[in-house]
Amino acid sequence: MTAAPRKRKSRRGLTFLAVLIVAAAAGYFVKVRYYTAPAVTMMTATVGKGSVEETVLATGELRPVKLVAVGAQASGRITSLHVGLGDRVQAGDLIAEIDSVTQQNNLKTAEASLASIHAQRDEKEASLTLARQTLERQQTMVNQNAVARADLESAEATVKTTEAQIAALNAEIQSAEVAVATAKANLGYTRITAPIDGTVLAVVSQAGQTVNATQSAPTIVVLGQLDTMTVRAEISEADVVHVQPGQKVYFTIIGDPEHRYDAKLESIDPAPESIRSDTAITSSNSSSSSSSSSSSAIYYYGNFNVPNPDGRLRTYMTAEVNIVLGSAENVLTVPAAALGNRDHEGKYRVKVLNADGSTAERRVEIGLNDKVTAEVKSGLDEGDKVVTGEMTAAQKAAASSNVRLGRGGGGPPPGM
């Protein structure tokens, strides 16, 4: 046999061997990729003692317990403003003054009219005295047949007429006194005073500005009592059925999330703010209906007060409110992630990891549940390991890689 045929056989053998190697590698890849189950790591957590608090979250707004817009009831130019932004005032303190020339003149006119009517009544009372004396003389003379009966009747009519005139003047005096009182009140309206103790939160009108109170009372300043703040928390319609007055609440503000303010829920509005725009109220067409569907969320306001002695809480701050539905301390707890489906008896299915590595399913009665931690009432014992999830080797490697690269927020789950 020559060398050339032997070389051709050797090449064919090498080619055949290479094909076998590639086929074997492809077969192994297909088996591993499609027919071999990936290794799974159980993520577990240990049942232990802890605290659980179930709450409803709501966003609220801080307002002074009393908020008053101090307006002007008199029209005219503001001649002086006696307060500034942030000033504290007491009830009755002078806030501003309005040009009072017109009101003073009206008062003088009303007082002069009253004095004139008083003078007319004095004149008529003097006339009545004379008429009564004349009547007495006429009666005496008639009894003596010294005068005609007609003269007596005329004297009687004069007395009655004068008495009626005095009664009319008395009524006019009452009307004039009302006019004087009204003029005095209008003059008083030119001096605007504080209706409550509080702090000046806004100065709306300035000295020299002309205000017109003909149709509405223009606001001069806004006063608020800041010693106590009211929180109006928006509670969703899904949560409001679980909330009632008297429950504990606490909240934080955006600028100081570590400081917790405690209070009690005092009231819940019976209707949402959207009732103000209900067509049954705002529309003159009684046949219109407001029952049409709306895509906007429905919220009910829950209200409570909180002391603010240091003034740290400011008007219209945002409050992150937690309404406590229930709380339990030193009870068995389990991660909410371990809870499976809920059966018709209200119990949850939980996988428990046995000592030999196998798992068993238990039916567990759960109490409070804050969606992170749940209270265990029965079905588990302290120290039991519950399965919270599963992770393949590839997922575990990817998670570790993300942590090393700074893309992860923490270490592996408990029990890994």
* Measured CA distances, 362 to 286, 352, 354 (Å): 59, 7, 12
Partner residues linked to 246 by β-bridges: none
Domain containing residue 397: CATH number: 2.40.420.20
**Exposure on the CB side of residue 91, measured as CA atoms within 13 A:** 6
The closest of 37, 29, 106 to 75, measured between CA atoms, is 106
Q: How far is Cα 82 from Cα 206, in angstroms, rounded to an integer?
A: 10
Q: Is residue 365 part of a domain?
A: yes
Q: Is residue 71 part of a domain?
A: no
Query: What integer pLDDT is reported at residue 40 of this predicted model?
Result: 59
Q: How far is Cα 261 from Cα 230, in angstroms, rounded to an integer?
A: 12
Q: Is residue 200 part of a domain?
A: no
The last residue of one of the domains, among 166, 188, 210, is 188
The last residue of one of the domains, among 125, 153, 188, is 188
Q: How far is Cα 226 from Cα 255, in angstroms, rounded to an integer?
A: 18
- Those residues whose C-beta lies under 8 Å from the C-beta of residue 349, and which sit 6 or more positions away, are 339, 340, 341, 343, 361, 362, 363, 364
Query: What integer pLDDT is reported at residue 340 of this predicted model?
Result: 87
Q: Is residue 355 part of a domain?
A: yes
Q: Is residue 251 part of a domain?
A: no
- Those residues whose C-beta lies under 8 Å from the C-beta of residue 315, and which sit 6 or more positions away, are 62, 63, 64, 67, 201, 224, 226
Q: Is residue 375 part of a domain?
A: yes
Q: What angle do CA 307, 309, 310 make, to 5 degrees?
A: 125
Containing structural domain, residue 162: 100-188
Q: Is residue 257 part of a domain?
A: no
Query: What integer pLDDT is reported at residue 273 of this predicted model?
Result: 86
Q: Is residue 267 part of a domain?
A: no
- State the total domains in the chain: 2
The last residue of one of the domains, among 188, 221, 243, is 188
Rounded to two decimals, what is the model's pTM? 0.66
**pLDDT 10s per residue in the chain (416 long)?**
455 555 555 666 666 666 677 677 766 665 555 555 455 577 888 999 999 989 999 999 999 999 999 999 899 999 999 999 999 999 999 999 999 999 999 999 999 999 999 999 999 899 888 888 888 887 888 777 766 778 778 888 988 998 899 999 999 999 999 999 999 999 999 999 999 999 999 999 999 988 888 878 899 999 999 999 999 999 999 999 999 999 999 999 999 999 999 999 999 999 998 888 877 776 654 444 444 445 678 999 999 999 999 999 999 999 999 999 998 899 999 998 888 888 888 899 998 988 888 888 899 999 998 888 999 999 998 998 998 887 655 555 565 666 555 554 444 444 44
Judge contact between 388 and 414, C-beta under 8 A: yes
